[in-house]
Chains A and B, each alone.
Chain A
Amino acid sequence: MNKNLNEPAALSPPWSLMEARDINHGYRRRRRGMWARAGLKNVLSHVSLAVGQGLTLGLVGESGSGKSTLARLMLGMERPLSGKVLYKGNPMPRPFSGPWKKLRSKMQMVFQDPYAALDKRMTILEQAAEPLLIHGLADKKTALELARESLAKVSFPAHCLERKPGSLSGGQLQRAVIARAVILKPEFLICDEPVASLDVSIQAQVLILLSQLKADLNMSMVFVSHDLNVVSHISDHLAVLHRGRLVESGPVKQIFDRPAHPYTELLLSCAPGSKKTFVQASFSRDEAQASGCAFYRRCPRRQSECRDMAPPLSAVAPARQAACFFPLV
Chain B
Amino acid sequence: MSDKPMTFIRRFLAAAPASVVASVAILAVLAISAVLAGQICGHAPEAVNLMNRLKPPVPFSGSAFNHLLGTDELGRDILSRLLHGMRISFLIALAGTVAGASIGLGLGFMAAHFRGLVDDMVLTAIDFNAALPFIIMALAMLAFFGSQIYIIIAIMAVYGWDRYARLARNLSLSALTEGYAGALLALGASPGRIYIRHILPNIAGVLIVNMTLNFPGTILLETSLSFLGVGVQPPLTSLGVLLGFGRDYLTTAWWIAVAPGTVIVMVTLSITVLGDFIIGSLDGTYSFSKSDRL
Contacts and interface: CB of A to CB of B under 8 A. Distances in A.
Given A101-B188, A121-B202, A134 B193 contact: yes
A2 B285 CA distance: 49
Interface in B169-214: 178-180, 182-190, 193, 198, 201-202
A207 B184 CA distance: 23
Contacts of B198: 119, 121-122
B202 A109 contact: no
B179 A130 contact: no
Secondary structure dominating the interface of B: helix
B127 to A, nearest CB: 10
Interface in B248-288: 283, 285
Given A119-B198, A119-B202, A121-B201, A130 B184 contact: yes
Among A101, A105, A120, A135, residue most surrounded by chain B Cβ atoms (within 10 Å): A120
A34 B185 CA distance: 27
A119 B186 contact: no
Interface stretch (A6-14, A110-118, A268-276, A310-318): A110-118
B148 interface: no
Interface in A118-136: 118-122, 130-131, 134-135
A77 interface: yes
Q: Which bracket fits the contact residues of B?
A: 20 to 34
Contacts of A75: 186
A108 interface: yes
B188 A134 contact: yes
A34 B123 CA distance: 9
Given A116-B178, A117-B179, A121-B201, A34 B124 contact: yes
Contacts of A109: 183, 186
B189 to A, nearest CB: 5
Nearest to A183: B187
B202 A105 contact: no
A116 B179 contact: yes
Interface in B95-123: 120-121, 123
A120 B184 CA distance: 13
A131 B187 CA distance: 6
A104 interface: yes
B186 A77 contact: yes
A150 to B, nearest CB: 14
B124 to A, nearest CB: 6
Contact of A104 (B187, B202, B283): B187
Contact of B189 (A34, A116, A120, A134): A134
Choose among B186, B193, B285 the residue with the greatest number of A CB atoms under 10 Å from its CB. Answer: B186
19 contacts: A34-B121, A34-B124, A75-B186, A77-B186, A101-B188, A109-B183, A113-B178, A116-B178, A116-B179, A117-B180, A119-B180, A119-B202, A120-B180, A120-B285, A130-B184, A130-B187, A131-B188, A177-B183, A180-B187
Interface of A: 34, 75, 77, 100-101, 104-105, 108-109, 111, 113, 116-122, 130-131, 134-135, 166, 177, 180
Given A134-B184, A180-B187, 5 more contacts: A77-B186, A104-B186, A111-B182, A121-B201, A177-B183
